Structure 1
Amino acid sequence: MRPLRGDDPARLGPYRLRGRLGEGPVFLGISPGGAEVAVRVLPEPEDAVAAERFERRARDARRVARFCTARVLDAEPAGDRPYIVSEYVPGPSLRRAVREEGPLRGTELARLAVGTARALAAIHRAGVAHGDLRPGNVVLGPDGPCVIGFGLASLTGGDSGVSGFMSPEQARTGDLGPAPDVFAWGATLLFAVSGQVPFGADESYGAPDLTGLDEGALKELVRRALAQDPDRRPSAADLLLRLTGEVPDIPEVTDVPEAGEPEAPSQPTMPTWAVPPQRRRGVRPWVVAAMVAAVLLAAALAGGLWLRSGDDPEDAETGVEVGSGTTMTSDRDDVGVRSSREAGRAVPGGRPAAIAERRSDGAATRARGFARTPRAGA
């Protein structure tokens, strides 16, 4: 936080301002209840129509769920200095963290990918477009990555986005929507692993350099997010669900299509799930045969004892122990998906049914069963 400048207001509405945050006219404020908040001053609406749009878009922004986002708390379009108030998230921006500490790898990168995808999914679900997703609008807070600044472009009706992170269609026409946000997500992740702005300031869009990403699901998702044709990009919900292993695997894309390249008509296909649906396993024939043999053996032994007991009572007292035949046990665990908060994605686990054969001497021999190795990228 930096001190207030001489021309900065000491108060906006009911919020007392303590200092400046980040870039632009963003202040650390104190709410009437004593909570720290972020107060951003916005351009004054040009007319009544713009003011009405401001109020409508601010209401939409307040509907965004609190999933890795700084929730919008208040907005005031009237007065000389319109402002919007959101939760204050302490921590450096992604831009600052990468510049000062270097690129992200491993768990940190996975948490960033999942957290920002979750934030975009929540923003889009509320009918809002971020319009300016970039490293400066991602805060690495104490609870993980947090996306800030969403909806500001639509609030003001002005220019949005930053060269190097904007999608081709947003750079050309200023269009806002989910697809440009997904492109910016991919560009932001490339910055996180390289420390470099992924595309030039001249709005040229060559093939993205993905060398900083390990082979796997994340690299393929970033590749698809950066497709120049917005119709070929996944949605934010697809990104989130694929990263957490809950939706079908995304087919590999070998090249990024150029803008305007026609897309082949898609054919309906059955999805290939990261974790196959659980199937009911029938009893194997040899198991049935073994069980039948055990029952017959037990019956024969019992019959022999009954016959002998009629001739000599002492033989009945020293008879063979019935029940020492083969018994079958199962130690099956359900196949499922477990979530990994640190890695930011789910790993399939579990093992198939294992059948053990137990003899009268107490020893057990495992006939079938193995630990399944988790698939990379699931």
Structure 2
Amino acid sequence: MGVVSLCRAGSGRLVAVKQVPEEYADDPAFRSRFRREIAAARRVSGVYTVPVVDSDTDGPRPWVATVYVPGPTLDQAVRDCGSFQEPALRALGTGLVEALQAVHAAGLVHRDLQPGNVLLAPDGPRVIDFGITKAMDETRLTRTGTAVGSPGFMAPEQILSSHEVGPASDVFALAGVLVYAASGEGPFGLGDEGVLHRVVTDEPNLHGVPPAMHPLLLRCLDKTPARRPVLEQVLAELAPSDPEALLPPALREQLAVRARDAELMAVVPPPPGAPPGIRRFMGRRRVLIGGLSALGVAVAGGASALVWTDSGDGKKQAGATPIATSSPILKFTSPPRPLWASTNPVATLMPKLYLFESTVVLHGASTSAAAFDTATGAVRWKYGLGPDSRPQKDNSALPDGTQILGTTGSGLLVSSLDTGPSSGVRNYLEVLDPAVARAGSKVSMGNSVSLVTLLSSYGGTAYFHSVSRPAGSTGGSPRLTLPLASMKTFIIAVDMASGSIRWQRPAESISVTNRYFAADQYGFYYTRGTDTGLAVDALNAADGRSRWTADVPLNSKSLLPPFMQVGSGALHTSLVAASGLLITLNVAHGMTAYDAQSGRRRWDVAMTAQTPPTVVGNLVLTSDSSRVYAVDLHSGQVKWTVISPVPLYGAGPSVAASDRVTAVLFNTVGIGAKGLTMDGGTAGCLVLRTSDGKQIWALREQADSATPTPSRTSIPGAPGAPSAADLLAGMDSWALAVRDSTVYICGAGRIRAYRADTV
């Protein structure tokens, strides 16, 4: 069949554009036959055929465009899902008979009905490649004098004399296709010359075919065309048939995935070096990169979609090659319509999304938040700075001065101040009901605590980093920023149920500017830079004593120079604890797993990923500037990777996942005259199936189109950089969260919920 390309018509409809092989392009006899057969094929209008939508029979490379069917071929379906049972066989046969009736009514004979020319769609089979097949076969017969077809499915008269080929030959092939669907093998076995001999001389083998269908199929496979039943008789004997019985559940799921994959193929400009006929077709359509054989379109010779290069005169240059489809390169496409969308009512600098039972809380900056109903998107309450950078409070029980720290279990953790004439200023930790923003429990941290940061939590224990005021200082707010040398820092473990402090210990070596804390049933973990690399420290959950320390050696495969892999250069390390393991991820050292009880290193994976990892089931999910990784939690084996279509960089936590869906959020950055810009103007969310990385949908949006962005100087606080107020008011930031098959995205001034079905 030559080269087959998946294209999108101007209406958005997907079509398969099939080019004939170059060897036929210069043959006048072929062109005449091809022109005649395409004209006849346009008259075919059966339900179970694939209609012709456009063609060019006069250009340098003749081609024909048909409606695209996002289903596997019959032979592929049998290989993947097994043989068909009798109800499915009758449904398949009924559809094929009706397709052949439409072909014959147009004055055509298919001549090459075989499992590779039958596509399975959700509403029945589709027969393809009639018309063009006959034109090519007749040209080959003229040149060589030998019959060309599919061994094992050709009728005896097609092998012995093409002049006797007619509708009865298609009846013979129909029976062979049904035998193949029932048994996984044609009625005359395999081979080329051997099977051709058996077709002419031997009786068919119906092993595996339901006995009730033997009489009909034996008559269809009669050596003499005149003794075969006509299609009307075949249709009557196949009754009753149920179209719903054609596709088993596994095959229906495969069809849904194929249809979605086709829609996700990236659109590229029309191939400029294509022959004029194709260019004329593509002038009002777009070619999609991808091999149709991977999407369920029959492609002779395994050809994939072709991308041409061009010198400008329309002539194809040497060296043009098909694009391989084996690399899982993601494509930016439009997601489905959101379940709901709500305008973001709070400032969203470095936002986070917290999911609770019926509420999703958006935390923007340190003192602003809003809660949305997960079902409707309605705002439950909001608190903090609005888009105009002025304080606002609406429907919230949060007191002034509240600092939102994060989440513990089913509640929202905040730090708040309480002032009184006798007690002075006291600092409280509160766990709030996220649905109404009211306190569920309150823990006093005393009047000596000025700065509190939640590091991690597990069960009912929360681990904080606190900064106390120096003894003897007077006046000023307890939140006043003091010189670091005058402060004492502590790690504090708090039982949130009782309000008691379980333990505290000095933490002079800990910085809270990096995401490198974790907790589990055994204790609390953090990392620190050393003279030789990176160390992981484990503290006991009960008393805060050191349990173990492990060194992370230099990564010889790292792209970073050694001086950046030690000391402060080894910071920016992420930790996650799960299933008795502690996972570290560092751009210099890659991903490492430790036994959480003993500290013994279990496995290492060399990668440059730096997005804080997410653990779902037995997978650890993360990303770097170009790839998304899924690593087996227990073995360290990379289960799958996918490639981002453009070099994007994560801004904070950008992977969220459930056991069904993985969402990866990226904000682009760029390097310009003023250095590293914090926002490159676009943001994207890639939504994948967690089990295998298969893309469900993806989006990329122009951040500038939704939110006016101030000046883009590289680092906040640097000369010429936007002020904090400017950033809060104008900088577009993104965050996401996932539950089951629902993806929640904050960005471009809105928060939205999308469905991401995996079947």
* TM-score where L is the length of structure 1: 0.56
SS at match of 2:6: strand
Over the aligned positions, Cα root-mean-square deviation in angstroms equals 2.1
SS at match of 1:170: helix
Equivalent of residue 180 in structure 2, options 170, 176, 191:
191
Deviation of 1:49 after TM superposition, in Å, equals 4.6
C-alpha distance in structure 1 between counterparts of 2:27 and 2:74, whole Å: 36
The question of 1:104 aligning with 2:92 is answered no
Structure 1 pair 77–149 and aligned structure 2 pair: CA distance change class (3 A): same
Name the residue aligned to 1:72: 52
1:40-119 matches, within 5 Å, as 40-43=18-21, 44-119=24-99
One-letter amino acid matched to 1:28 = L
Name the residue aligned to 2:751: none
Deviation of 1:214 after TM superposition, in Å, equals 2.2
C-alpha distance in structure 2 between counterparts of 1:35 and 1:341, whole Å: 25
Kindly indicate which of the two structures has a greater share of residues assigned to helix.
1
Q: 1 or 2 for the larger relative contact order (CA 8 Å, sep ≥6)?
A: 1
Name the residue aligned to 1:180: 169
Structure 1 pair 173–45 and aligned structure 2 pair: CA distance change class (3 A): farther
Matched-pair contact (CA < 8 Å) for 2:187–2:206:
no
Deviation of 1:103 after TM superposition, in Å, equals 0.7
The question of 1:232 aligning with 2:223 is answered no
Name the residue aligned to 1:32: 10
Name the residue aligned to 1:313: none
C-alpha distance in structure 1 between counterparts of 2:2 and 2:244, whole Å: 33
The question of 1:207 aligning with 2:203 is answered yes
Matched-pair contact (CA < 8 Å) for 1:129–1:177:
yes
The question of 1:244 aligning with 2:222 is answered no
C-alpha distance in structure 2 between counterparts of 1:170 and 1:141, whole Å: 29
One-letter amino acid matched to 1:61 = A
Matched-pair contact (CA < 8 Å) for 1:107–1:342:
no
Runs of 5+ consecutive residues of structure 1 not aligned to the other structure: 1-22, 246-338, 345-378
Name the residue aligned to 1:263: none
Equivalent of residue 165 in structure 1, options 139, 153, 160:
153
One-letter amino acid matched to 1:174 = S
Name the residue aligned to 2:215: 220
C-alpha distance in structure 1 between counterparts of 2:77 and 2:242, whole Å: 24
C-alpha distance in structure 2 between counterparts of 1:99 and 1:170, whole Å: 27
C-alpha distance in structure 1 between counterparts of 2:183 and 2:61, whole Å: 38
Q: Deviations over 1:156-207 (max 9, x none)?
A: 3334421111111111223432111111111111111111133242212211
Q: Deviations over 1:267-309 (max 9, x none)?
A: xxxxxxxxxxxxxxxxxxxxxxxxxxxxxxxxxxxxxxxxxxx
Matched-pair contact (CA < 8 Å) for 1:93–1:135:
yes
Matched-pair contact (CA < 8 Å) for 2:29–2:139:
no
C-alpha distance in structure 1 between counterparts of 2:6 and 2:104, whole Å: 27
Deviation of 1:64 after TM superposition, in Å, equals 0.9
Deviation of 1:46 after TM superposition, in Å, equals 4.1
Deviation of 1:47 after TM superposition, in Å, equals 4.5
Name the residue aligned to 2:550: none
Deviation of 1:54 after TM superposition, in Å, equals 2.0
Matched-pair contact (CA < 8 Å) for 1:225–1:234:
yes
1:127-138 matches, within 5 Å, as 127-138=107-118
Deviation of 1:45 after TM superposition, in Å, equals 4.4
SS at match of 1:139: strand
SS at match of 1:112: helix
Deviation of 1:74 after TM superposition, in Å, equals 2.0
One-letter amino acid matched to 1:124 = H
Deviation of 1:65 after TM superposition, in Å, equals 1.8
Q: Deviations over 1:327-377 (max 9, x none)?
A: xxxxxxxxxxxx744468xxxxxxxxxxxxxxxxxxxxxxxxxxxxxxxxx
Q: Deviations over 1:313-335 (max 9, x none)?
A: xxxxxxxxxxxxxxxxxxxxxxx
C-alpha distance in structure 1 between counterparts of 2:176 and 2:123, whole Å: 23
Structure 1 pair 196–136 and aligned structure 2 pair: CA distance change class (3 A): same
Deviation of 1:113 after TM superposition, in Å, equals 1.0
Matched-pair contact (CA < 8 Å) for 1:166–1:184:
yes
Matched-pair contact (CA < 8 Å) for 2:179–2:187:
yes
C-alpha distance in structure 1 between counterparts of 2:159 and 2:245, whole Å: 33
Q: Deviations over 1:61-83 (max 9, x none)?
A: 11112221111222211222111
C-alpha distance in structure 1 between counterparts of 2:179 and 2:57, whole Å: 36
One-letter amino acid matched to 2:84 = L
One-letter amino acid matched to 1:123 = V
Deviation of 1:138 after TM superposition, in Å, equals 0.6
Structure 1 pair 207–48 and aligned structure 2 pair: CA distance change class (3 A): closer
Deviation of 1:151 after TM superposition, in Å, equals 1.7
C-alpha distance in structure 2 between counterparts of 1:52 and 1:152, whole Å: 11
One-letter amino acid matched to 2:176 = A
User: Could you say which structure has the larger radius of gyration?
Assistant: 2
Matched-pair contact (CA < 8 Å) for 2:44–2:105:
yes
Structure 1 pair 234–174 and aligned structure 2 pair: CA distance change class (3 A): same
One-letter amino acid matched to 1:32 = G
Name the residue aligned to 1:12: none
Deviation of 1:87 after TM superposition, in Å, equals 1.0
Matched-pair contact (CA < 8 Å) for 1:118–1:237:
no
Name the residue aligned to 2:387: none
SS at match of 2:88: helix
* TM-score where L is the length of structure 2: 0.29
One-letter amino acid matched to 1:164 = G
C-alpha distance in structure 2 between counterparts of 1:240 and 1:190, whole Å: 16
Kindly indicate which of the two structures has a greater share of residues assigned to strand.
2
Runs of 5+ consecutive residues of structure 2 not aligned to the other structure: 141-147, 247-759
Deviation of 1:209 after TM superposition, in Å, equals 1.4
Deviation of 1:107 after TM superposition, in Å, equals 2.2
C-alpha distance in structure 2 between counterparts of 1:57 and 1:341, whole Å: 30
Q: Deviations over 1:61-116 (max 9, x none)?
A: 11112221111222211222111111111111110011122111132212111111
C-alpha distance in structure 2 between counterparts of 1:141 and 1:148, whole Å: 12
Matched-pair contact (CA < 8 Å) for 1:28–1:39:
yes
Matched-pair contact (CA < 8 Å) for 1:121–1:240:
no
C-alpha distance in structure 2 between counterparts of 1:98 and 1:121, whole Å: 25
C-alpha distance in structure 1 between counterparts of 2:15 and 2:152, whole Å: 30
C-alpha distance in structure 1 between counterparts of 2:79 and 2:126, whole Å: 18
Count residues in correspondence. Answer: 228
